[in-house]
Amino acid sequence: MPLHGSPAPQPTTDLSKAVVNGDTATVKALLEELSLDDIIHPINIDRNKDDLDQYDESNTALIWAAEVGNLEATKLLLDKITAEAFSDRISSSTSSQDASILLLSFINHRGFLGATALNRAARRGHTNVLELLLSSSSSGNKISDSLLFDINLPNNKLQHPLHFAAFKKHPKTVEYLLKNGADPFVLDRKGRTPREDTSCDKCKSLLEEAMR
């Protein structure tokens, strides 16, 4: 149930729609055409407060890829943004340091209800997507993705990726998250650990072992 009673979002940009529909050809074509700014900002932002507030609640194409488990689109997006983060295709007014900040904010962008790409992948049990997000295996990527993605960043309800994986009964996802630095002691807004928020016996066992 959304915190503010809003209906679940639908993809609005051509890129996000192609990602959700599994249209790899269109995703590739759009990534060739779009600038990094266009990919990072899923809406047209005029840099005023209303637009920025809207962006804060928007799902990026990367979040949509994680939500639907589109591994190919996830890889294409990671390759695109890491390859071009410091190229001359980004706005000429953006310094190298600002480009780093921009990239980091995109990687950990909190979309609808504050959920990141990691949150969405964990909720759906898309362990293969999590592996790609948290690895540095993207071709040509000199940046360690494992250092960029925040595995313990929660949504607006303070539900962390580990909470989602445990609550939704995805033991393989729980195990993967724990092996890659997820904190089993994190608390949601009701003060519950992931162990206290699951009815999955295998998940409980994994979490109990990690908490010893």
Domain with residue 185: its CATH number is: 1.25.40.20
Contact by Cβ (8 Å): 169, 199:
yes
Q: Are residues 26 and 126 in the same domain?
A: yes
Q: Are residues 103 and 35 in the same domain?
A: yes
* Domain presence at residue 2: no
Pick from 149, 169, 190: which residue ends a domain?
Answer: 149
Q: Are residues 98 and 177 in the same domain?
A: no
Q: Are residues 193 and 127 in the same domain?
A: no
Q: Are residues 137 and 163 in the same domain?
A: no
Pick from 149, 175, 191: which residue ends a domain?
Answer: 149
* Domain presence at residue 4: no
Q: What was the pLDDT predicted at 97?
A: 58
Number of domains within the chain: 2
pLDDT at residue 57 above 80?
no
pLDDT at residue 120 above 50?
yes
Can you give the pTM of this predicted structure? 0.83
Q: Are residues 127 and 194 in the same domain?
A: no
Q: Are residues 127 and 110 in the same domain?
A: yes
* Domain presence at residue 5: no
Q: Are residues 136 and 166 in the same domain?
A: no
Q: Which percentage of the chain shows pLDDT scores above 70?
A: 75
Q: Are residues 142 and 158 in the same domain?
A: no
Q: What was the pLDDT predicted at 27?
A: 98
Q: Are residues 64 and 156 in the same domain?
A: no
Q: Are residues 168 and 141 in the same domain?
A: no
Contact by Cβ (8 Å): 193, 207:
yes
User: Please, where are the H alpha helices in the chain?
Assistant: 14-21, 24-33, 36-40, 49-56, 61-68, 71-84, 96-107, 117-124, 127-134, 145-148, 161-167, 171-179, 201-211
Q: Which domain holds residue 77?
A: 12-149
* Domain presence at residue 3: no
**C-alpha span between 186 and 164 (Å, rounded):** 12
Mean of the pLDDT values across residues 163-168? 98
Q: Are residues 27 and 50 in the same domain?
A: yes
